[in-house]
Chain A
């Protein structure tokens, strides 16, 4: 029955997709009228009275050519989509891992110590709601490097969900488990790694999953600002080139990569999940 349900869902998805694409394709046809075009207009190929959004067929054709050679590099203004995505993923990975390195131990500290929790709470409350892009000018001034600045922006936006979830997960570890550790005279370090970390792991991983989602959202905006390389820059560059087909194609690719990242973290969460 489950398999059957999956199959039916897949078929339905396909049907919805085809219907939407057909509507898009058919409602968005050339209004080809050469009448009234001057010789100059004809010469320039400007046969359409109005610019229009590209059709699915055009996007599909572009996707095939782009994806058949995703990693070419013909200078700063012409790089393959795969290469651009890799630039973005690299920045996200660096900022994200740096954030995890700081957020998880700090979260542990906050979760374990009510004193630290109260002492650090005002800082977290003020820093958390700041849009990560607001840090960009300051980062550019201090770090003097656009690449490093975008990594910093990723770092600052992905640190909060991890920090808050770790602190919550650690402070919410059941007292029974702590008592087990205490009655067995586990040292501080063994308690942390043997009891608290595995008990809080599902909550921590949930925070990491939220963080990776936010980081992927923010990198596009950050790269639009700093330029140079990356998928965000690519989108903006194609907009400047008035190549809407490429814009739509890269939007789709951003979605696909975001889905993959989320899936990876979802799997990791599943691995540390336990049933009480």
Chain B
């Protein structure tokens, strides 16, 4: 068995400006994502999270290393990988509906107009924007725009969904609402998701695993934290779960202390050596304290059974 998405030894080096030294943002980053898994990545600014996401999307290329999806190399952007950007990336001259239909048209070029419209409208409804489909993005609030962007990404039914800090620009209340909508849609679609976030609570609420990155330059993925809180989860209930604060404290402690410590050059050597090997990054369960080598298909087995999987296509 192998991972659905497999990133192997990704390194990104930017040439130095003028006579400056070249800058290696991250070095030998490897990880795997299982099918249907929701994985978040957390790390301080500048550790190259967005670059990793862009490499997964095929929008950027790594200086070294390779990304495999279903055992095929990711060589460029594809409709198999939907992306939601932090700044929504809607086309401002198109109506909300058109922003979705053009994507649906590219995905299924043979569909007729009615099919495209019906499919698009279903996703507009799913994010609660029915009735606003004729509006231009500039007439919508930030939260509504991000909903459109999420609807567009889900509407093309990609095999992998990449979310680049999708809620970063939203206020806390709106963010909470859209997070719940995201979980709802995700539970309905059996989508594999890779998401960047800065928000620890958001990561615990949404993900099966959290990848923790050390600080750049030469950033690494130090560990992969298993979130064994059963689904369905919701914002008000999850904080009462006995595992919640153990996990949260573990992640926060990593971000505050260990992300810096592990970034020092001596320790870096050790993780770098480990980076290329199978079983990296180590899978950690903060609740049981168990550390084990990562193997494909292992991590989410315990949390999956609660998911109500409905295939929309």
Q: Could you list which residues of chain A lie within 8 angstroms of chain B, going by C-beta atoms?
A: 176-177, 179-180, 182-186, 190, 194-195, 198-199, 201, 272, 274-276
Contacts of B87 in A (CB 8 A): 176
In the complex, residue of chain A having the shortest beta-carbon distance to the beta carbon of B138: A275
Contact A177 B106 (CB under 8 A): no
Quick one: which of A176, A194, A275 contacts B102, CB cutoff 8 A? A194
Quote the shortest CB–CB distance from A100 to chain B (angstroms).
Answer: 21
Contact A183 B77 (CB under 8 A): yes
- A184 in contact with B102 given A176-B87, A198-B91, A276-B138 (CB within 8 Å): yes
Contacts of B81 in A (CB 8 A): 183
B59 within 8 A of A: yes
CA separation between A201 and B77, bound complex, in Å?
A: 26
In the complex, residue of chain B having the shortest beta-carbon distance to the beta carbon of A194: B102
Contact A198 B106 (CB under 8 A): no
- A184 in contact with B156 given A179-B59, A275-B136, A276-B138 (CB within 8 Å): yes
Contact A176 B93 (CB under 8 A): no
Number of chain B residues close to chain A: CB under 8 A:
24
Contact A180 B59 (CB under 8 A): no
In the complex, residue of chain A having the shortest beta-carbon distance to the beta carbon of B107: A184
Contacts of A190 in B (CB 8 A): 106
- A177 in contact with B136 given A183-B81, A184-B103 (CB within 8 Å): no
Contacts of B107 in A (CB 8 A): 184
B85 within 8 A of A: yes
Contact A274 B138 (CB under 8 A): yes
B57 within 8 A of A: yes
Contact A274 B156 (CB under 8 A): no
Within residues 89 to 122 of chain B, which ones have a CB less than 8 A from any CB in chain A? 89, 91-94, 102-103, 106-107
B188 within 8 A of A: no
Contact A176 B92 (CB under 8 A): no
- Contact residues of B: prevailing secondary structure: loop
Contact B138 A180 (CB under 8 A): no
In the complex, residue of chain A having the shortest beta-carbon distance to the beta carbon of B81: A183
Contact A179 B138 (CB under 8 A): no
In the complex, residue of chain A having the shortest beta-carbon distance to the beta carbon of B83: A183
Contact B93 A274 (CB under 8 A): yes
B79 within 8 A of A: yes
CA separation between A195 and B91, bound complex, in Å?
A: 8
- A179 in contact with B106 given A198-B91, A198-B93 (CB within 8 Å): no
CA separation between A183 and B107, bound complex, in Å?
A: 11
The 4 A-B residue pairs with the shortest CB-CB distance in the complex, in nearest-first order: A275-B138, A274-B93, A182-B77, A198-B93
- A274 in contact with B79 given A182-B59, A184-B156, A185-B106 (CB within 8 Å): no
B48 within 8 A of A: no
CA separation between A185 and B79, bound complex, in Å?
A: 6
Contact A176 B89 (CB under 8 A): yes
Contact A184 B89 (CB under 8 A): no
